[in-house]
């Protein structure tokens, strides 16, 4: 079968490999049809992904078809189209016992800590598969990206009365604003990339702010009729942005860090206490998040069509992948077609 492997930073290659088709009782053999390219893949290609080793088969945003199941598998059947929840709990830890397997101490992320889905067939624990009778493989490959934003919105307990700021108009920021939109919360998006802000403006957001060309606090006050956001999501993974984000929530507001970076976050403690801010980290997503997102897409409440801006077949990926990492390519979401 064909397999894309990242041998070292900047060096992606396509090769033919053999595969053992024997399954454990709880496994499923799946055929990979679509692979969404995410920030993790791009960071790994650039050599700046934390907790990562080479060589590695990337890919955890997947549209899959079940072709074989182990004898104990009951949640999927052969022929099912599925999305994959790629956060595998190697063993149960304290967080998992408390109902938070997304931040369990013993997680192996498919395509990051272990080889992932940039290959024609893979074996996965079947309990992490989420089937749909209606969605296309393209849509199923987007569920994991959406899940990161969905989980962050759930963490913040966003309501229709909230005024929301999403910082960062990349895929994770786009995912967050999709679900604040479902909840009918007025949402403003801030970024330094005008092309991405223009894209967001066409999604029906309350407003957009280019932080390079305007004063964010002044613009927020105008857009929210003199108020500040009650909930702020920073989806950038940029330390300067994350530390500036403490300025934007209202008194009594919430700040959610969805993106992360390798370093320390500093903030002005008197201001933090004066506002009585609540600070959240948001990591991965829960199993129920995947099922709820699939139901929302099936019901037509989430439109994934505008997301996919670039596509390539598996045979073309080695030649185009580096171009996808460049801002001038204007990629929102690139999709690899394995079949």
Span 321-333, pLDDT tens digits: 999 999 899 999 9
pLDDT of residue 33: 98
pLDDT of residue 188: 98
Higher pLDDT, residue 213 or 51: 213
Does residue 135 carry a pLDDT above 80?
Answer: yes
pLDDT of residue 339: 80
pLDDT of residue 158: 98
Question: Is residue 55 reached through a cis peptide bond, with omega within 30 degrees of 0 on the bond before it?
Answer: yes
pLDDT of residue 52: 86
Helices (H), 79-215: 94-97, 137-156, 171-182, 194-201
Does residue 335 carry a pLDDT above 90?
Answer: yes
Q: Over the stretch 289-323, which tens digit does the pLDDT of each residue have?
A: 999 999 999 999 999 989 999 999 999 999 999 99
Q: Which two tokens stand for residue 82?
A: 């599925």
Q: Which two tokens stand for residue 23?
A: 């399954």
pLDDT of residue 262: 84
Question: What gap in Å lies between CA 166 and CA 111, rounded to an integer?
Answer: 27
Q: Over the stretch 189-202, which tens digit does the pLDDT of each residue have?
A: 999 999 999 999 98
pLDDT of residue 163: 98
For β-strands 11-16 and 308-313, DSSP reports them as unpaired
pLDDT of residue 191: 98
Nearest Cα to 72, choosing from 27, 33, 109, 22?
A: 27
What single string gives the DSSP state of each residue in 263-301? S-----HHHHHHHT-EEEE--S--HHHHHHHHHHHHTTS
Does residue 50 carry a pLDDT above 80?
Answer: no
Q: Give the pLDDT mean for 230-255.
A: 97
């Amino acid at each position: 079968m064909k397999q894309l492997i990242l041998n070292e930073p900047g060096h992606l290659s396509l090769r033919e490999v053999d595969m053992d088709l024997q399954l454990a009782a709880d496994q499923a053999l799946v055929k990979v049809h679509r692979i969404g390219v995410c920030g993790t893949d791009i960071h790994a290609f650039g050599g700046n992904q934390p907790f990562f080793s080479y060589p590695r088969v990337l890919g955890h945003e997947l549209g899959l078809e079940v072709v074989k199941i182990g004898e104990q598998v009951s949640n999927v059947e052969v022929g099912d189209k599925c999305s994959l929840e790629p956060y595998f709990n190697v063993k149960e830890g304290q967080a998992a016992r408390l109902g938070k397997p997304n931040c369990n101490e013993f997680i192996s992320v498919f395509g990051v800590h272990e080889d992932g889905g940039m290959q024609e067939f893979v074996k996965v624990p079947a309990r992490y598969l989420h089937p749909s009778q209606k969605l296309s493989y393209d849509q199923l490959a987007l569920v994991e990206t959406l899940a990161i934003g969905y989980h962050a919105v759930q963490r913040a307990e966003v309501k229709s009365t909230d005024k929301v700021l999403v910082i960062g108009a990349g895929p994770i920021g786009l995912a967050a604003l999709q679900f604040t939109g479902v909840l009918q919360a007025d949402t403003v998006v801030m970024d330094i990339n005008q092309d991405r802000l223009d894209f967001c403006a066409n999604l029906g957001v309350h407003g957009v702010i280019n932080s390079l060309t305007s004063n964010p606090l002044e613009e927020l006050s105008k857009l929210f009729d003199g108020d500040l956001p009650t909930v702020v999501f920073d989806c950038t993974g940029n330390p300067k942005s994350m530390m500036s984000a403490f300025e934007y929530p209202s008194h009594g507001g919430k700040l959610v860090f969805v993106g992360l970076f390798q370093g320390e976050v500093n903030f002005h403690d008197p201001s933090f206490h004066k506002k009585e801010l609540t600070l959240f980290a948001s990591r991965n997503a829960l199993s129920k998040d995947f099922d709820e997102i699939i139901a929302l897409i099936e019901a037509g409440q989430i439109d994934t069509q505008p997301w996919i801006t670039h596509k390539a077949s598996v045979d073309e990926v080695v030649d185009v992948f580096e171009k996808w990492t460049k801002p001038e390519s204007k990629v929102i979401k690139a999709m690899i077609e394995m079949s």
